[in-house]
Amino acid sequence: MDLYEHQARQLLADHGILVPRAKVTDSADRARAIARGLGGRVVVKAQVKTGGRGKAGGVRLADDPAAAERTARRILGMDIKGHTVRTVMLAEPVDIEEEFYVSYVLDRAAGRFLAIASAEGGTDIEEVAASRPEAVARIPVDPAEGVTSAKAAEIAAAAGLPPQTVDPLVRLWQVLVREDALLVEVNPLVRTREGQILALDGKVTLDDNARFRQARRGSDDCGHDDPLEAAAAAKGLNYVRLDGEVGVIGNGAGLVMATLDVVAGCGARPANFLDLGGGASAEVMADALAVVVSDPAVKSVLVNVFGGITACDAVADGILRAVDRVRPAKPLVVRLDGNNAVRGRALLDERAHPLVQQIPTMDGAARRAAELATTA
């Protein structure tokens, strides 16, 4: 899960990295009062989970509270790379002397972490990395050893960062380890005119698999920006919203992924990924169907189940109960195979529900669902 800048900076601050004072709001009116509280001049920053906000006009300096309100009004509602700005952060402005780039990122292939640092941080870091890779130091970090002061000094020296960055580099590693992050990035880490080292931006990606041991990650903060994804997560379903028109329900992540490919191969686009998981009871099936059909983009639903531990007759029963409970106004194409498939298919045939049709093969079922979606 990616955090918003204001959440990331809180984690940095919790681990002793200096950050400018700041407050978040979704209202331009309140932005004025906040600016007043911060001393008048503020930087107004779009809170969206994507980089390049500065270049997109989502980071602007405002000289006084009235300007802060106008600027907030301009930035709120802006679209930055497909992300709508719902909140802005107002921060005390900082006089920047130098901008650095520092990050730790998991290097899966190497089974280690990588420290990436540059004395030429700021909004042009991508160009710097592309045109002059030697200006960006990349130092492997052994996860068992971590970033000690000595290691941080090595990173700082390799990147040409001043010695005052050693302490924040150690603390940034502590953020990564203690918060179970896969990525922590500060760009820019700045040296102010007074010689202080401050984090002016923060990006943190938390490891969702570690959520269980991170008690302080509240239940309201489970990383689902999409209301349907949040509703599905509340029901314990593995659901990811995509942008097509064929709703996809299957059991097992591998089967669901293969189903997405087959739908795409039929010239349609999957609207979602929904994995029922192991025990696909009637209840689970109904919850899944309710989530998928409530996406207005869904024109047809493909249910692709290979019966294993859960027999196909139980799944068929689940589908019929789900249809009765949810009363979808969209056609369902069902492919059942595996354990007790004959019995499962017979159950669906007996009921002959007008919205439910069966196709025995995965290819055929995907083709039919794609047809229904594109002609609907």
Question: What number of helices (H) and strands (E) belong to the chain?
Answer: 12, 18
Q: Which listed range, 46-54, 243-251, 298-306, 336-344, lies at the site for ligand GDP (CB under 6 A)? A: 46-54
Residue 313 is a binding residue for Mn ion (CB under 5 A): no
**DSSP for 100-122, written as a single string:** EEEEEEEETTTTEEEEEEESS-S
CA 16/CA 182 separation, integer angstroms:
19
Full DSSP string of 45-75: EEE-SSS-TTTTT-EEEESSHHHHHHHHHHH
Is 40 an interacting residue with respect to ligand GDP (CB under 6 A)? no
Cα–Cα dist 189/116, whole Å: 13
Stretch that binds ligand GDP, among 10-18, 49-57, 62-70, 152-160 (CB under 6 A): 49-57
One residue of 24, 31, 59, 372 binding ligand GDP per CB under 6 A: 59
Taken in order 49, 52, 56, 59, the sign of the CA dihedral is: positive
Measured CA to CA, the distance from residue 41 to residue 81 in angstroms comes to 27
Binding mask 95-124 for ligand GDP (x = CB under 6 A): -x--x----------------------xx-
From CA 44, how far away is CA 62, in angstroms rounded? 7
Q: Are 345 and 317 in contact (CB under 8 A)?
A: no
Helix (H) or strand (E) holding 21: none
Smallest gap from residue 46 Cβ to ligand GDP (A): 8
Cα Rg of the chain, angstroms: 26
Q: Which partner, ligand GDP, Mn ion, none, binds residue 93 by CB below 5 to 8 Å per kind?
A: ligand GDP
C-alpha distance from residue 56 to each of 126, 201, 373 (Å) = 15, 15, 36
For tokens 């595996």, the residue is 338
In the bound state, the residue with its beta carbon closest to Mn ion is: 201
Q: Which one of residues 201, 295, 313, 317 is an interface residue with Mn ion (CB under 5 A)?
A: 201
Query: Is the preceding peptide bond at 188 cis, omega within 30 degrees of 0?
Result: yes
Interaction between residue 179 and Mn ion (CB under 5 A) = no
Among positions 12, 89, 94, 117, the unique one binding ligand GDP when judged by CB under 6 A: 94
Task: Choose the stretch contacting Mn ion; rule: CB under 5 A; options: 67-75, 136-144, 196-204, 262-270.
Answer: 196-204
Q: Which residue in 40, 54, 223, 338 binds ligand GDP (CB under 6 A)? A: 54
CB of 39 to ligand GDP, least distance (A): 12
Residue among 263, 264, 269, 273 at smallest CA distance from 241: 273
CB of 173 to ligand GDP, least distance (A): 21
The yes or no reply on residue 314 touching ligand GDP (CB under 6 A) is: no
Q: Is 185 a catalytic residue?
A: yes
Among 154, 201, 229, 245, binds ligand GDP (CB under 6 A): 201
Answer with the entry of Mn ion, ligand GDP, none that 331 interacts with (C-beta below 5 to 8 A by kind).
none
Fill in the DSSP letter of residue 95: -
- The least distance separating ligand GDP from the CB of residue 354, rounded to whole angstroms, comes to 51
Residues 185, 182, 209, CA angle at the centre, nearest 5°?
150
Catalytic residue among 69, 120, 185, 229: 185
Distance between CA 89 and CA 17 in Å, rounded?
18
Q: Which stretch binds Mn ion (CB under 5 A): 129-137, 199-207, 232-240, 246-254?
A: 199-207
Task: List binders of ligand GDP among 233-292 (CB under 6 A).
Answer: none
- Active-site positions read 101, 185
List of residues contacting ligand GDP (CB under 6 A):
43, 45, 51-54, 59, 91, 93-94, 96, 99, 122-123, 187-188, 200-201
List of residues contacting Mn ion (CB under 5 A):
187, 201
